């Protein structure tokens, strides 16, 4: 078979798989996969530098399917290119326990680089991956890292606000080696895009500083697609957007260019008619003739050779291998935490300032550290100091990133950095604005991306900025998110322990930090290093270890000091109060039952004290001193007093709780 005919067969087989998988599951999005089958074929067989035998090779090109509803396109390419799928995986598309879920999920399948589906997220992930690639290339040279990031995106990606933020950031940073193909098919779920959108995409991206090229009606022209991709790859100093006019569902005789092709099975008769047009057997489902995977296997040999050459180079050319390996792992060098500062009891320091001291003291021992904030660098503890180089086009190895007022793109690009590998990203903003970043935080948790958030100004104690800036429900909201480690330290020593956990542990960590100064507690200097890792620990026993206390006072963050103060006020009344610092629900829940019972003895009354919503505390406490309304504009100390966060208020609530049991 002539190569041109063989390549067309490859494309048509991908279209057939897209139709059959969606039809078989009676669920999915066939149209985009059918339209972009030629583009995916060209990328994987002619352009992408990848090796299915070593899918996590660090210097591979990266591919992101931002319009993740077209997941069957990616799964088909992974099947045909030898990434460990078999045809049964395609037959089980979108079914319970299958390796081919409705949207691509990183870690579930080799060859899936990021979790996509919520539109715009993959777009922003690509920006983070380009930052990581450029950062590593600047640090270790092109012999170690030198590759491209490719992203397919659609109208929905470009409508979502995160794409505006991320595109602006990418243009400002001058991120080359970043090639996006915009599938301009004019269709969304509701119908034609002109129902909702009249943007000039070309001018928009040109204004961001991107290279933009209109490819036009070449969705089925393999040579033109390759040429366009290679022109985008040639842009070393700015990102590229290639605008491809495709026809969703092509060549379906009755569904091409219709909204039905977007998110519905074509129907058995339409599948039959379309297969006939493509020259595929109409009586065979999931048809893959032997010559198709053989063709891709032959093309994959180029990537294998590139990988083997890279392995030989890195054996002799990478100068500081220990730092390079630490970067790739997103970890510190051996003994890095020995550089953590200690804090003297009785002094006062806001935990946002304590985290900055921890960060700057250890930054030289964490080679992949890249730190930034949403225009709040000095406010959130993310300032690496005057000696830090700012990430920019002219300084690609810069460790300080100014994300601008783009919290959503900050968090989503951090996911891209972490999942690319080679970078441990830290991003800071006010805790209340975690709401702006939340979709990307959720995907970090789902993906178990190793990222760290500094969420500061954590309560009504922040003061005069008032209720718009004072978080109430955010703690409960983030605690409800599976896979996210939320830590609210009580003082500077707990903050240091929390930073060590954030660096050393897998997955995302949110450090929730105070604006106001907090006393460094005498008890934490000895107990915090181990106690924070358990999620909760006893600061003050209340009675000797052999005797049970009368009540347990549970505090987090700035309220732990109130619990200690209340316990001392209750002691002359003959009330023995145990004080428990409870920085992390997630870490505590992971402990063995015996440990949890030792900290919170069954049958003993418990009072939780936290300047946030009471929601959820019924899991651990019989009552709470909390705040279930929005805050107020006043000095922070006055707010805390007016909202009932004083030691006297805790004493009063403890007496009430003990009184209910006496009755």
Q: Report the catalytic residues.
A: 407
Closest CA to 156 of 119, 193, 104, 195: 119
Q: Cα 475 to the chain's mean position, in Å?
A: 18
Q: Which two tokens stand for residue 275?
A: 């297969």
Q: Which two tokens stand for residue 305?
A: 């050779």
**Euclidean distance between CA atoms 609 and 485, whole angstroms:** 20
Closest CA to 475 of 586, 382, 580: 586
Q: Going by C-beta distance under 8 Å and a sequence separation of 6 or more, which residues neighbour residue 352?
A: 379, 380, 381, 454, 456, 457, 513, 514, 515
Q: Cite the beta strand spans of 509-549 per DSSP E.
A: 509-512, 518-519, 537-540
CA distances from 269 to 91, 109, 255, 279, 282 (A): 19, 32, 12, 15, 10
CB 471 within 8 A of CB 558: no
CB 10 within 8 A of CB 296: yes
**Euclidean distance between CA atoms 534 and 556, whole angstroms:** 14
CB 521 within 8 A of CB 487: no
Burial of 436 (0-12, 13-18, 19+ CB in 10 A): buried
Closest CA to 241 of 271, 208, 273: 208
Q: Which two tokens stand for residue 224?
A: 């033109």
CA distances from 106 to 20, 36, 63, 446 (A): 24, 21, 12, 9
CB 459 within 8 A of CB 611: yes
Strand 452-456 relative to strand 424-430, pairing: parallel
Output helix, strand, coil percentages for the chain, rounded to the nearest 5: 45, 15, 40
Q: Please name the helix (run of DSSP H) or strand (run of DSSP E) that holds residue 661, with its range, or none.
A: helix 647-662
**Euclidean distance between CA atoms 66 and 180, whole angstroms:** 10
On the CB side of 100, CA atoms within 13 Å amount to: 30
**Euclidean distance between CA atoms 530 and 390, whole angstroms:** 35
**Euclidean distance between CA atoms 80 and 326, whole angstroms:** 34
Closest CA to 391 of 408, 407, 414: 414
């Amino acid at each position: 078979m002539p190569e041109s005919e063989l390549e067309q067969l490859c494309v048509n087989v991908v279209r057939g798989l897209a139709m059959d998988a969606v039809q078989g599951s009676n669920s999915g999005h066939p149209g985009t996969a059918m339209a972009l089958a030629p583009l995916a074929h060209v990328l994987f067989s002619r352009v992408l530098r990848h090796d299915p035998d070593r899918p996590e090779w660090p210097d591979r090109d990266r591919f992101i399917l931002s319009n993740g509803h077209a997941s069957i396109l990616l799964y088909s390419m992974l099947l045909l290119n030898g990434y460990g799928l078999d045809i049964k995986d395609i037959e089980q598309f979108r079914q319970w326990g299958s390796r081919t879920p409705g949207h691509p999920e990183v870690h579930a399948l080799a060859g899936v680089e990021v979790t996509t589906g919520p539109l715009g997220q993959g777009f922003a992930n690509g920006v983070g991956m380009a930052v990581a690639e450029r950062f590593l290339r600047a640090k270790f040279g092109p012999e170690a890292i030198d590759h491209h990031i490719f992203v397919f995106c659609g109208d929905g990606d470009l409508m979502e606000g995160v794409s505006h933020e991320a595109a602006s950031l990418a243009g400002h940073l001058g991120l080359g080696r970043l090639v996006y193909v915009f599938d301009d098919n004019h269709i969304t779920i509701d119908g034609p895009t002109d129902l909702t959108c009249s943007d000039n995409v070309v001018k928009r991206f040109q204004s961001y500083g991107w290279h933009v090229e209109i490819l036009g009606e070449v969705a089925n022209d393999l040579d033109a697609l390759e040429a366009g991709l290679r022109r985008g790859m040639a842009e070393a100093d700015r990102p590229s957007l290639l605008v491809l006019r495709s026809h969703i569902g092509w060549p379906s005789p009755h569904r091409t260019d219709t909204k039905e092709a977007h998110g519905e099975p074509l129907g058995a008769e339409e599948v039959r008619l379309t297969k006939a047009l493509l020259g595929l057997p109409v009586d065979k489902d999931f048809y893959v003739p032997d010559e198709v995977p053989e063709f891709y296997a032959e093309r994959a040999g180029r990537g294998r050779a590139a990988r083997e050459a890279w392995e030989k180079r890195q054996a002799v050319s990478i100068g500081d291998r220990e730092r390079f390996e630490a970067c790739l792992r997103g970890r510190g060098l051996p003994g890095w935490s020995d550089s953590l500062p200690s804090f003297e009891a009785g002094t006062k320091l806001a935990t946002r300032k304590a985290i900055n001291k921890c960060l700057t003291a250890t930054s030289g021992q964490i080679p992949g550290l890249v730190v930034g904030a949403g225009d709040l660098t000095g406010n959130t503890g993310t300032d690496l100091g005057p000696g830090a180089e700012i990430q920019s086009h002219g300084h690609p190895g810069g460790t300080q990133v100014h994300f601008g007022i783009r919290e959503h793109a900050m968090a989503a690009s951090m996911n891209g950095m972490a999942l690319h590998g080679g970078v441990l990203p830290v991003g800071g903003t006010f805790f209340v604005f975690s709401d702006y970043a939340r979709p990307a935080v959720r995907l970090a948790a789902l993906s178990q991306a190793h990222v760290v958030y500094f969420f500061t100004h954590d309560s009504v104690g922040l003061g005069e900025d008032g209720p718009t800036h004072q978080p109430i429900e955010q703690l409960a909201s983030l605690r409800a998110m599976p896979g996210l480690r939320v830590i609210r330290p009580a003082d500077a020593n707990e903050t240091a322990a929390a930073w060590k956990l954030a660096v050393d542990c897998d997955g995302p960590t949110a450090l929730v930090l105070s604006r106001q100064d907090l006393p460094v507690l005498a008890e934490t200097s000895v107990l915090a290093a181990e106690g924070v890792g358990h999620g909760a620990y006893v600061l003050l026993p209340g009675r000797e270890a052999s005797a049970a206390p009368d009540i347990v006072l549970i505090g987090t963050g700035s309220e732990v000091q109130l619990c200690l103060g209340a316990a001392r006020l209750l002691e002359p009344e003959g009330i023995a109060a145990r004080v428990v610092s409870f920085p992390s629900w997630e870490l505590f829940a992971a402990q063995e039952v015996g440990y949890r019972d030792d900290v919170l003895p069954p049958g003993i009354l418990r009072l939780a004290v936290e300047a946030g919503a009471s929601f959820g505390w019924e899991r651990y406490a019989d009552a709470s001193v909390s705040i279930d309304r929005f805050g107020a504009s006043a000095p922070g100390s006055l707010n805390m007093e007016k909202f009932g966060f004083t030691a006297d208020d805790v004493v009063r609530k403890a007496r009430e709780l003990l009184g209910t049991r006496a009755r």
